[in-house]
Amino acid sequence: METLSMWIKTRRQEQTETAAATATTTIAAMSRSRITTHATTTHGLNSIWSHFYAFVVAVAVAMLLNCQVCQGAGRAPPEPYFGRYIGQFTNFAHGIKGSIYAVDESTLFVKSFAYDGTGPDAFFWVGKTARPSPEGYIIPYPEEYIGSDPPVLQAHNNTDIILRLPMGKRIKDIRWLSVWCRRFTVDFGEVFIPPGIDVPKPRVLPEFRRLAHGLRSSNISVLDAKTFYIPNLHYDGAGPDAYFWVGNGSEPNIMGIKVPNEIGSLEPLRGYQGEDIEIQLPGSLTVYDIDWLAVWCVEFRHNFGHVFIPKDLDVPPALGQTKITPSWWYSPTTTTPRPVYSNCREILPNKLQVKWELQGEYVQIELFGRISEDQYMAFGLSGANGRAQMAQSDVVVAFYDTNARVFRAEDYFISDLSQCDGHRGVCPDERLGARNNVVVVSGDRKGGVTSIRYKRLLQTNEAIYDMPIPIDREVSIIAAVGPLNARKEANAHSHTSSDHNPDDIRINFSKRNDHSCKNSLYDVKDESGPKPWPTRKIKGEQKFRASIGATGGKRGYTAITGVPSWGIAWYINDLLIPEITVERGLTYEFLIEGGNDPAQPARYHPFYITDSPEGGLGQKTGLEARKQKAYAGVEYDEDGNAIPTGVGRYCEWEHRTVDRSAEFDDFEQYKSTLVFKCEDGEPGYMNWTVPMNAPDTLYYQCFTHNNLGWKINVVDAGASTAPVHRQLGRNQWLFYIMLTVLSLVASSRLTNGLLA
């Protein structure tokens, strides 16, 4: 430790001396200029002003250069550093004292707090009114307490206190901090938050540079002045004497210092397989003292990989506010003690398991799913307690983003069982103008199993789209797995017990040892899917009936089109998404039964014909909308906005019970498990004359949702309408003509021969 202290002291002295030397050189140069000016000036008064001016300029330049050099060298803020200074408590009663600092977006630090403790009902109190008032709320202190109500504030004499804003509140959401007596509505002392205060924030760095032993990670974060967060860490553990290593210089070198691992050990590093860990710099060392973080083999002096620390950091101070994940949460390849308690439920048999733990105001959840890379797993609170209900539910959709190559967990609100149109449906909170209140902690994919760990506040700051997670009782949950669409958003899952939980399942998130998982999903054998049904085709018809129906699970829509389905699709003449063949110049009639009430997005599917294989013109704007052309079912207003016209009553081929598509080898058998139901009203009607310049392939689609329809093959006149018997007649007629010609030629030659 003494060596470490000397290293830090030397490092900071070098930075200070460099700044001082630069400033001294500048002042000396300015002094020489001043002497020259004095020698050449004939007026004494001007000489005095010149001296004064030169001195002021020299000091200003020296201060500026000193500041720039400090920043350029990455020197820490003035010691001691407590965060962004807010102000002093103004005392009105009971000897309130203390200096207040903004540590990060949701944490305050009170330095040397004093209070005589004689107030009968006093608390730390914050709010956003003009002055402290009863319209505020308590910041509990101490943070951990027994019972349902926070304890009354006790006496303090120069105590350093960390205050965490509750319920997801941030410093930007409050205007003042007060020591407030709730019973008598009296303000004992107050301080006001400067408007627009720029608080320190964690800094995201690049991932580890990949040099040896399979070392890699996702983007590393500096959580505070001493803490690194390293997500998705991979390392084969084969280095004989490898450690986390920090130091100075343009590259990692032998003049570094060991950093303890995630459990505070200085043993050589074990192997990591996609884990997320946090490590803290030892002693008084901070991120402002180092240039890089590396994984370094001391014995062989070899760098396995590193990341550089930028010089312009403005991260929170290390005051103990950063809660390090407990060591039992990590899942190392080597043997470690089992957690004190563990919770695990298998929600979907052999397909989805969930583990959870409470961590203060947060719940940390890990989902394990046997899903492919184009699928998601969803878990959250049911829309109705006492049963599994998707509508009005608050869920997290977790998946691996193959485009960005990152694991994601997105906060969703399900207003309706329909595709998200940006306003309603199965929508990420961010598409509804709210926040994603879920933080990904780690992710991994191996052996056909995707695991994603995330955390969220038990009670967020959004009353509309986020439901509070109770910890005093059981709550009904829902879970599902399904396909992702092109936007990397959740598409409809199949309605089978293996893809969602049809029955009510309840969890008490504060319960311990709720462990009913019998086997690991990694041990489940993969089963191949059912054989897809062949594509149906319609030729020679000029009248079509378009209604909605079930997609046929893994045998139907997705198998035919190669893209995920929403769970419903177009049925044309009672066939699931058949290929239609039409002729240029001919007119076709469509009876449309896709719904006509925009207030029910799950039952509103205007029919239209387009050159887009995706459809969903009503969701598109700007350039995205202009990329597709509508050939029928759409009109445009004077402002160029697309208006759907292919609307009519809603009719659907529904499951009688559950989806049984996997049981049947052909569509006709499957259709016998469906029932056709129509709402009151009349079908819509659309006439379409195929343009002579229409492309060879068009699509019938839904105006408000993506991927409900399929292909229209466009051919020239006469190419598709002739029945088979007529085509055979033409062939026979040609045969008779050719036979007649040959017969006449043969007869002519025979006659000529006889005459000869």
For residues 44 and 661, which has the higher predicted lDDT (pLDDT)?
661
Q: CA 271, CA 333: separation in Å to the nearest integer? A: 7
Any domain includes 746: no
Question: 699 versus 730: which is more confidently predicted?
Answer: 699
Token pair listed for 90: 């103004």
Mean pLDDT to the nearest integer, 234-246 = 87
Q: What is the predicted pLDDT for the residue at 754?
A: 42
Q: What is the mean pLDDT of residues 326-343?
A: 41
Q: What is the mean predicted confidence (pLDDT) over 122-131? A: 95
Domain span at residue 131?
84-192
Residue 13 belongs to some domain of the structure: no
Shared domain for 125 and 180, answered yes or no, is yes
Are 365 and 487 within one domain? Answer: yes
Q: Identify whether 64 is part of a domain.
A: no
The answer on 561 and 503 residing in a single domain is: no
pLDDT band at 122 (very low <50, low <70, confident <90, very high): very high
Least confident among 70-79, 277-286, 353-362: 70-79
- What pLDDT does residue 714 have? 96
Same domain, 362 and 506: yes
Residue 18 resides in a domain? no
Q: What is the pLDDT of residue 6?
A: 55
Q: Do 116 and 155 fall within a single domain?
A: yes
What is the mean predicted confidence (pLDDT) over 697-721?
A: 91
What is the Cα–Cα distance from 413 to 391, expressed in whole angstroms? 9
Residues 604 and 696 occupy one common structural domain = yes
Does the residue 363 lie in any domain?
Answer: yes
Q: How many domains does the chain have?
A: 4
End position of a domain, from candidates 164, 192, 220: 192
Tell me what pLDDT residue 40 has.
Answer: 40
Beta strands in 283-337 (DSSP E): 292-297, 302-308
Q: Which of 326-335, 407-416, 624-633, 691-700 has the lowest mean pLDDT?
A: 326-335
* pLDDT for residue 726: 41
Q: Who contacts 132 (Cβ-Cβ below 8 Å, separation ≥6)?
A: 125, 176, 178, 180, 187, 190
What mean pLDDT do residues 345-351 have?
Answer: 92
CATH number at residue 641: 2.60.40
Q: Do residues 350 and 482 share a domain?
A: yes
Report how far apart, in Å, the C-alpha atoms of 421 and of each of 332, 605, 627 are: 43, 12, 18
For residues 185 and 224, state if they share a domain. no
Q: What is the pLDDT of residues 606-629, one digit of tens each?
A: 999 999 999 999 988 887 888 899
Residues 578 and 509 in one domain: no
First to last CA, the chain: 128
Distance CA(359)–CA(458), nearest Å, equals 10
Give the separation between CA 570 and CA 578, rounded to whole angstroms.
Answer: 9
Tell me, yes or no, whether 750 lies in a domain: no
Query: How large a percentage of the chain has pLDDT more than 90?
Result: 52
Find residue 634's DSSP bridge partners. 644
**Residue among 178, 45, 197, 198 nearest 115 (CA):** 178
Q: Are residues 356 and 282 in the same domain?
A: no
**Residue 167 sits in the same domain as residue 235:** no
- Mean residue pLDDT of the chain comes to 82
- Overall average pLDDT of the 290-295 stretch: 96
The verdict on 275 and 406 lying in the same domain is no
Question: Across residues 326-352, what is the average pLDDT?
Answer: 58
Final residue in a domain of this structure, among 454, 482, 516 = 516
> What are the helix (H) ranges across 532-591?
557-561
Is pLDDT larger for residue 286 or for residue 240? 286
